[in-house]
Structure 1
Amino acid sequence: MTFKFSIPTPTGPLNFEVETGTSLLFVGANGGGKTRLATKIEELLGETAHRISAHRALVLNPTIPKIAEQDALLGLRLGYHGEGASIIHRLGQRWKGKAATLILNDYDYILQSLFAEQANTALDTHRNARAGAGKTATATKFEKLIEIWDRILPHRKLDITGDDIQTFVADSGVKYSAAEMSDGERAIFYLIGQTLVAARDSLIIFDEPELHIHRSIMSRLWDELEAARPDCAMVFISHDLEFVASREGQKYVLRDYDPVNGWTIEAVPDDTGFSEEITTLILGSRKPVLFVEGRGDSLDQAIYRACYPNWTIIPRGACEEVIHAVITMRANSNLTRAACAGIVDADAYDATEIEFFRKKGIAILPVSEIENLFLLPSVVEAIAKSEGYLLEALQAKVSSVLEELFVQAAIPENQTPIVMRYCRRRIDRTLKKIDFGDAEDVAMLAADYVAQTSGIDISALAKMASESIQESIAEKNAPELLKWYDNKGVLGIACKAKGTTKNLFEQWVVRALRNNIAPELSDAIRRVLPTVAPS
């Protein structure tokens, strides 16, 4: 089955088609008209649309009075189950005339639908058994709900009877009312229930599907719900870029909404040079994009998001990938609306390379790896101050931490891997610049190779790196040393400024930067990071 509808835009109607078993996703910031779009689609599709509001009450009452299944379903879909109930009642009864703003309170109807369906299915099974028909028992929707629940939350169990719902922690056996479940658990139960009781061949519209759901289970939940209803199509309307980027389906960005001209909607294109996920992040953000090295672990993300709050941070792995991302984004006509910049780690770049980066809008960190920021003297001082160190005690603490850095860096076994990594990177960088396009035969290719690689003096590279490290140690120059030193043990030294373990220190840093509970630390890091400008 295909669902078709048209949405008004400033340039005319935009047509959409969604097949059952597939999804359509919209992402937009606040003010983009997300809920208005959800109500518009519901209005256009009439009875075939089943909308779950972003404004939803999550009061779960497992002992709700039981009513007939058909009455419960009418109440859920229309807000009214009296004589003559029809689609004309939905706006006034279900939405009270406030389709975009009402806090929807339909949890009771979901539970009543599920209890009634369970009773009717159990009665059919009982009659079949009494008649000796030998028919296989049909799974109730409650049983399907429990199966999905167990795959998403295996530690939390549900016990559903004919008139009550209780929950308990796996292996404990101590039961309590489902009404006392957490917001997240009640939200999961609600969404599973809504999905299961939606009418066959419905377009299910989820407005803000990520509300109250922990990110760690988001993907599993929606995989399960999409799989549970292959007879339906789904529309997701969200402000969560990462959620939309992670899902399969047609994707659009809501740029703006005007009550007169409608929605400004932009399709997420396929031919951008980026993955669909990255393209969605770029187009869905109202901020300029900052590409950085790394894989996006929690510490990297905390640093960049705290220090560049007006940017959308996108990790791109190695230096070359950052360069490629910046160049690709600026060259792509589909992405020119969004500005971007990049940041790469320090790597003993020469003046020519630094100028190349500058022209491309790429800044260079003052250290070889982002973790090294925590051993820059001003940052160590900020960490120590957060622990109450002052005056002479503060200077003594900073000196002792930095001295441990110098002692560790002076060990030959620690220097050799750093020198080797530097040489490998320089060789790799040189080889990637080699052009064999003019070679017409094997002999010319061999000659070109020799000519273009003969300038790589590995011994000189190693000597320069080694001498730079040793000189910075001898001069007690921590900022210079940290441009070279990329030993993963630096956080194990920095944590001593706080008097804690490496793991606890990293957790504290993430909390401090996200919540600004140590403003001196945030300020110290911002001061040493490069200034970037969108272009």
Structure 2
Amino acid sequence: MTTSKYSFTIPTSNNGTLNIPLTEGKALFVLGANGVGKSTLMHTLFQQNVNHTKRILAHRQTWFSNNSMNMTASQKKDRERDMKSSDQQIYSRWKDDYSSYRSSISIFDLINSENIRARNIANAVDRDDISLAKGLSNAQAPLQAINELLAISNIPITITLGKDEQLFASKNGSSLYSIAELSDGERNALLICADVLTTEPNQLIILDEPERHLHRSIISPLLSSLFLKRKDCVFVISTHDVFLSIDHSEASVLLLRSSQWNGKNIKDWEADLISESDKIPAEVKKEILGSKRSILFVEGESQSLDRQIYQLLFPSVSVIPQGSCIQVEKAVEGIKGTENLHWINAYGLIDADDRTEEQLQALIERGIVALSCYSVESLYYNLEIVKRVANRYSELTGSDANELYLAATSDIINSIIPHKERLCSRLCEKQVRNSVMSLLPKHKDIDKRGEYEYKINLKEIIEKEEAVFDKIIEENNLNGLISRYPVRETPALTKIATGLGLTREKYESAVRKLIIDDSDTKQYLKNLLNPLTSLIEGEKSSPNKS
């Protein structure tokens, strides 16, 4: 059994010494109101892990005077040594003697990482190691990653590296201008992205109060995406905003209620470690909460494909996976039925699972939309989207768009047919489970004290689905196959991506880039998601009714 190299141990008044697990690929939110000792706790955490930690201060300077490297590598190394020494002092909780250098170092690291990547690719080409060069070029460039992060976070700017190693911005296709001219929030988002993406591997990243300079609609999706980009790191986020932890239900929460002082030092904290942030007590929510919030509950687990595409399509909504459709329905109904949560607009997104039109309409009236597609891959690999990606890559590579599209789609049926039995049974499994759950005995049935019997003809159900499958194949309805069945369990999606000359990861990134760049593509996918789109966007122009 391996021991974590990260340490987070604090004295508490209610739980004794609390050892808080810190695991790479996981996040911890430290949540509490003003005055409970969050800053002191973050300083303690930094001291316990000083040799493998990057600390992003709450009182950081978010402006810089120029858009290029303004120090040498030697000067940068000296400044970083001085900063680490200063950060270990107790006064670093409120004072920063190196604020102007921190933003300059962030820009230095960003430009340097872009240059290192370019040099590594060029060196591989010089050695005639084309395979290595292709592998290095397939890894996302730092600026490309930042531009994707900014777009997902509702910031419509693009960052480019110009001549003389200067960074420029462009907003919605405008002329280039210096990143020094960005707004306060835009600069702060850029600096956070640069700091996290250029952090050394396997580090602890401490981020103090990210909401101080950024609106919740920006920082929440930004954090989600940064967690995915740096799964090799541990994130600890200090915040006042309860919704940041609610938005990231897979993260742990250290809830600080109060602290006990002994002179100028904190003796201990009243603190609880919570593994699921939706269990935060209502009284704490009341103390910290402020504005309204919209939440979209979806089926499934916390997967990047779902969260990122829905976040791009509905930037004003937080996306929270809830497992099964029953759990989605309970989450929506729980919020709508709780007066204390009147600031939240709740929506649900579940699969249709052969529900009747009357059932579908009844769900909509409760704020829950049932879609006909099996999973989010039905959006990514919709053939119209495949065609648009093919068109974009034909422009970049000089290839024929029709030939790329044919290469991507020609083998879909042959990739799926061998998996017919499993695909049909998987689809029927969801239908049967939902049917059984809906027909479980109620308390009135139990009161009768008799026998309760429910029979199901599985042979009839699977044969009916296999007939539907055969008809879709006969009609060569490729979108029907992709939409109805869990085709991610077949080679079909990989064949689509490789037909375009891409990996699946790079194809899915290209789809998100299309949504960012092309409003028609974004609207096309939103139309596929109706009536959910109408339900969410209708709330924008009407009072909250939940």
TM value normalised by structure 1: 0.52
Deviation readout 1:155-175 (Å, 9 max, x if unpaired)? xxxxxxxxxxxxxxxxxxxxx
Deviation readout 1:489-523 (Å, 9 max, x if unpaired)? 3421331453323243234445555xx25655444
Identity %, equivalent residues: 16
1:406 lines up with 2:413 in the alignment: yes
TM value normalised by structure 2: 0.51
- Pick the aligned partner of 2:441 from 420, 435, 443: 435
Preserved CA contact (<8 Å) 1:285 1:312: no
- 1:302 counterpart residue number: 308
SS at match of 2:347: strand
- Pick the aligned partner of 1:356 from 355, 359, 362: 362
- 1:335 counterpart residue number: 341
- 1:241 counterpart residue number: 244
Distance (Å, rounded) in 2 between the aligned partners of 1:217 and 1:494: 27
Preserved CA contact (<8 Å) 1:380 1:497: no
1:502 lines up with 2:509 in the alignment: no
Distance (Å, rounded) in 1 between the aligned partners of 2:517 and 2:278: 36
1:387 lines up with 2:393 in the alignment: yes
Shift of the 217–208 alpha-carbon distance from structure 1 to 2, 3 Å rule, reads farther
Shift of the 523–236 alpha-carbon distance from structure 1 to 2, 3 Å rule, reads closer
Preserved CA contact (<8 Å) 2:409 2:499: no
SS at match of 1:291: strand
- 1:377 counterpart residue number: 383
- 1:140 counterpart residue number: none
Distance (Å, rounded) in 2 between the aligned partners of 1:352 and 1:487: 29
Preserved CA contact (<8 Å) 1:382 1:520: no
Cα shift at 1:352: 3.4
Deviation readout 1:411-438 (Å, 9 max, x if unpaired)? 2x41111221233223222221221534
- Pick the aligned partner of 1:424 from 408, 426, 429: 429
Shift of the 335–403 alpha-carbon distance from structure 1 to 2, 3 Å rule, reads same
- 1:468 counterpart residue number: 468
SS at match of 1:388: helix
Deviation readout 1:133-175 (Å, 9 max, x if unpaired)? xxxxxxxxxxxxxxxxxxxxxxxxxxxxxxxxxxxxxxxxxxx
Shift of the 475–517 alpha-carbon distance from structure 1 to 2, 3 Å rule, reads same
Deviation readout 1:291-349 (Å, 9 max, x if unpaired)? 11222222222211111112111111222221221112212233222001111234333
Code of the aligned partner of 1:420? S
- 1:54 counterpart residue number: 59
Distance (Å, rounded) in 2 between the aligned partners of 1:295 and 1:284: 28
Distance (Å, rounded) in 1 between the aligned partners of 2:211 and 2:19: 16
SS at match of 1:444: coil
- 1:31 counterpart residue number: none
Distance (Å, rounded) in 1 between the aligned partners of 2:281 and 2:395: 45
Deviation readout 1:2-41 (Å, 9 max, x if unpaired)? x9xxxxxxxxxxxxx99997999558xxxxxx9xx68999
Preserved CA contact (<8 Å) 2:408 2:495: yes
- 2:420 counterpart residue number: 415
1:275 lines up with 2:279 in the alignment: yes
Preserved CA contact (<8 Å) 1:210 1:218: no
Counterparts of 1:78-477 in structure 2 under 5 Å?
Answer: 183=195, 206-208=208-210, 215=227, 216=230, 220=234, 222=236, 236-237=239-240, 241-242=244-245, 246-250=251-255, 274-276=278-280, 286-388=292-394, 394=401, 397-398=404-405, 401-409=408-416, 411=417, 413-432=418-437, 433-435=439-441, 437-438=443-444, 444-445=450-451, 448-449=452-453, 453-454=454-455, 456-477=456-477
Distance (Å, rounded) in 2 between the aligned partners of 1:373 and 1:340: 22
- 2:526 counterpart residue number: 526
Distance (Å, rounded) in 1 between the aligned partners of 2:395 and 2:498: 13
Code of the aligned partner of 1:374? Y
Cα shift at 1:373: 2.0
Code of the aligned partner of 1:241? L
Code of the aligned partner of 2:485? Y
SS at match of 1:386: helix
Deviation readout 1:240-291 (Å, 9 max, x if unpaired)? 8149974544369xxxxxxxxxxxxxxx9x9x994349998x9688541011
Shift of the 339–283 alpha-carbon distance from structure 1 to 2, 3 Å rule, reads farther
SS at match of 1:434: coil
Shift of the 297–52 alpha-carbon distance from structure 1 to 2, 3 Å rule, reads closer
Shift of the 22–105 alpha-carbon distance from structure 1 to 2, 3 Å rule, reads farther
SS at match of 2:443: coil
State which structure, 1 or 2, has the greater radius of gyration over its C-alpha atoms.
1
Any unmatched runs of 5+ in structure 2?
A: 1-10, 21-28, 40-55, 65-74, 104-193, 214-221, 258-271, 540-545
Preserved CA contact (<8 Å) 2:295 2:320: yes
Distance (Å, rounded) in 2 between the aligned partners of 1:496 and 1:65: 46
Cα shift at 1:54: 2.1
- 2:45 counterpart residue number: none
Distance (Å, rounded) in 2 between the aligned partners of 1:382 and 1:360: 35
Q: How many residues align?
A: 364
SS at match of 1:415: helix
